[in-house]
Amino acid sequence: MNLDMATLLPNLAKASYLIAAVLFILGIKRMSSPVTARKGIVQAGIGMVLATLATFAITGGHNLGLILGAIALGVIPTWLWGKKVAMTDMPQMVALFNGMGGGSAAAIGAGEMIKFVQTGASPSKTTLVLAVVGALIGAISMSGSIIAWAKLDGRMDKRFTFPGQQYFNLLVFVATLAIGAMLVMKLEVPLIVAFFVLALLVGILMTLPIGGADMPVVISLFNAFTGLAVAFEGYVMQIEALIIAGMVVGAAGMLLTQLMAKAMNRPISGVLFSNFGGGGQSAADIQGSQKPIEASDAASLLYLAEKVIIVPGYGMAVAQAQHKIWELCKQLRERGKEIKFAIHPVAGRMPGHMNVLLAEAGVPYDLIVDMEEINPEFATCDVAIVIGANDVVNPVAKTDKSSPIYGMPILDVANARQVIVIKRGKGAGFAGIENALFYQDNCKMLYADGQAAAAALSTELKAIDGGGGH
Ligand code: NAP
């Protein structure tokens, strides 16, 4: 049989795009549960390698040196960074990597547009519209993600506003759209340059005023933008793998954005345009005082309790207290106590932050309960231990209309018979506001680093019954 390699190879490569697409979709599906998430990531990664190899086959080794150089430039620093990044810095890293994806899509758009000008080619209007829209979304995602990274990394103010900001932003956006429309009519290099400068500016301007607890939603939205941009540019370049991967990322990002916005009870338009978080009005006028407790007394409360719910938050990640808190829980379980972990969807600094830490410590998945399911249980719980959580347990979200977190669903820790809050001092949470829970009569403050406090509770618990259990 005389096989024509020149047609066989590209066809094989295109078929492998399909396999890659199936791997992406199965991978994403597996990522939805902590039990299968690792496998999902590996699966999607294999899909990506396959798609990359297929692209090599299609391009027939053209510009091989440049492609390999670009891959090395992308893979080596990110691999090294990914290996050493602290769990608490993960959101910043995600924001930056996502921005790079958006930037790449925008660069593809720019490259294609300039190529059309240089070769005098006349692509279809659909191709031009998608190239321009993809480039716009990609550029917005890149500059916006960089600002999000700088804010999350504490390199710039959480919120930056000026009078008439929304009108100014609208003006810049409309100007960008107008130049984009002109590009669809006629491609010219100076217009292309002006378009990209303005598109990057839109990303910066729209992210500057967003602060506080809305940042994760914004990062997820930019992630969806990047996916869409990649898909549109995939159409322009006629690369199926880019279209499919972009659409999968775009759809997943959109769903995650909606889920997170819902978890914070904020419409996406509210996230983007209403200057949430940070400063805002002062917290409600809170009555009472914070009542400290020693580890020995807190351990006695735990010893007498039958049902204990642990509420982890960002401070547990900072303290890396997940192992010590699970040790404490194991001791409590040995003594016949019922233990559950309550997870707020935006506890910590990234979606699933707490789940990852608890999984790392070996906490069985069936003890980890989502907010909606666990909330009615606080009323029947003897002791709730809040470790490093603040905003996600703040009752002012329900009572104080002037609070920047008003309307955000919270864990109903305040309903527990006794609450023990482990934190280092009187530091505020991410939204920068006072927490009414800490002043409640049933709430005691165990001021310490999360890890040290969990270890002290374990020691004190053993001291009560000699470590005997039962
Ligand atoms: P939080 O409101 O940020 O509060 C964390 C608390 O932990 C602080 O009040 C701090 O108080 C304490 N803490 C810090 N280091 C500690 C340590 N070593 N040991 C013990 N305690 C320590 O945390 P959260 O309740 O988890 O809420 C998350 C917030 O982040 C929400 O506003 C959410 O919207 C936002 N956010 C979430 C994501 C996401 O996707 N999950 C991403 C970005 C932002 P002390 O200083 O007194 O110790």
pLDDT of amino acid 237:
86
Same domain assignment for residues 113 and 224: yes
Same domain assignment for residues 214 and 329: no
Same domain assignment for residues 264 and 334: no
Q: Does residue 469 sit in helix, strand or coil?
A: coil
CB 296 within 8 A of CB 329: no
pLDDT of amino acid 202:
96
Q: Which atom of ligand 1 is nearest to the CA of 277?
A: 32
Same domain assignment for residues 63 and 99: no
Same domain assignment for residues 119 and 221: yes
Whole-number Å distance, alpha carbon 319 to ligand 1 midpoint, is: 11
Choose the final residue of a domain: 233, 250, 279.
Answer: 279
Whole-number Å distance, alpha carbon 389 to ligand 1 midpoint, is: 5
pLDDT of amino acid 158:
65
Residues 6+ apart with CB under 8 A from 152: 91, 92, 95, 215, 349
Same domain assignment for residues 26 and 135: no
Pocket test for ligand 1, best of 90, 346, 437 (most atoms within 8 A of CB): 346
Q: Which atom of ligand 1 is nearest to the CA of 389?
A: 25
Same domain assignment for residues 68 and 202: no
Same domain assignment for residues 421 and 317: yes
Residue 173, domain member (yes or no): yes
Residues 6+ apart with CB under 8 A from 141: 98, 99, 101, 102, 103, 105, 203, 222, 223, 225, 226, 229
pTM for this predicted structure: 0.76
CB 263 within 8 A of CB 275: no
Same domain assignment for residues 136 and 154: yes
Separation CA 268–CA 107 (nearest Å): 27
388 lines ligand 1 (CB under 6 A): yes
pLDDT of amino acid 274:
61
Neighbouring CB atoms inside 10 A of 271's CB total: 23
**H or E, element range at 451:** helix 450-465
Q: Which atom of ligand 1 is nearest to the CA of 348?
A: 26
449 lines ligand 1 (CB under 6 A): yes
Choose the final residue of a domain: 227, 250, 279.
Answer: 279
30 lines ligand 1 (CB under 6 A): no
Neighbouring CB atoms inside 10 A of 456's CB total: 21
What's the domain count of the chain? 3
Separation CA 251–CA 254 (nearest Å): 5
Range of the domain at 129: 88-279
What tokens does 399 get? Answer: 């009572």
Separation CA 239–CA 51 (nearest Å): 10
Tell me the pLDDT of the chain (470 aa) as tens digits: 455 666 777 788 888 888 998 999 999 889 887 778 889 999 999 999 998 888 887 777 778 888 889 889 988 998 998 888 877 777 888 889 999 999 999 999 999 999 999 998 889 999 999 999 999 999 999 999 999 998 888 888 766 778 888 899 999 999 999 999 999 999 999 999 999 999 999 999 999 888 756 777 888 899 999 999 999 999 998 888 889 889 989 998 999 888 888 777 677 777 777 654 444 345 446 778 899 999 999 999 999 999 999 999 999 999 999 999 999 999 999 999 999 999 998 898 777 889 989 988 999 989 999 999 999 999 999 999 999 999 999 998 888 887 878 888 899 999 999 999 999 999 988 888 889 999 999 999 999 999 999 999 999 999 998 766 55
| CATH number of the structural domain spanning residue 437 | 3.40.50.1220
CB 93 within 8 A of CB 79: no
Candidates 89, 153, 214, 391; catalytic one: 391
Same domain assignment for residues 315 and 460: yes
Residue 285, domain member (yes or no): no
392 lines ligand 1 (CB under 6 A): yes
CA distances from 248 to 21, 22, 252, 430, 470 (A): 9, 11, 6, 31, 51
Residue 328, domain member (yes or no): yes
Same domain assignment for residues 344 and 203: no
Choose the final residue of a domain: 29, 52, 84.
Answer: 84
Q: Is 449 one of the annotated active-site residues of the chain?
A: no
Same domain assignment for residues 435 and 322: yes
Phi-psi region for residue 221, left (φ > 0), alpha (ψ -120 to 50) or beta?
alpha
Residue 288, domain member (yes or no): no
Q: Kindly report the protein residue whose alpha carbon is nearest to atom 29 of ligand 1.
A: 430
pLDDT of amino acid 280:
39
Separation CA 350–CA 352 (nearest Å): 6
Whole-number Å distance, alpha carbon 318 to ligand 1 midpoint, is: 9
pLDDT of amino acid 218:
87
Residue 287, domain member (yes or no): no
Separation CA 129–CA 419 (nearest Å): 57
Separation CA 442–CA 383 (nearest Å): 10
CB 226 within 8 A of CB 2: no
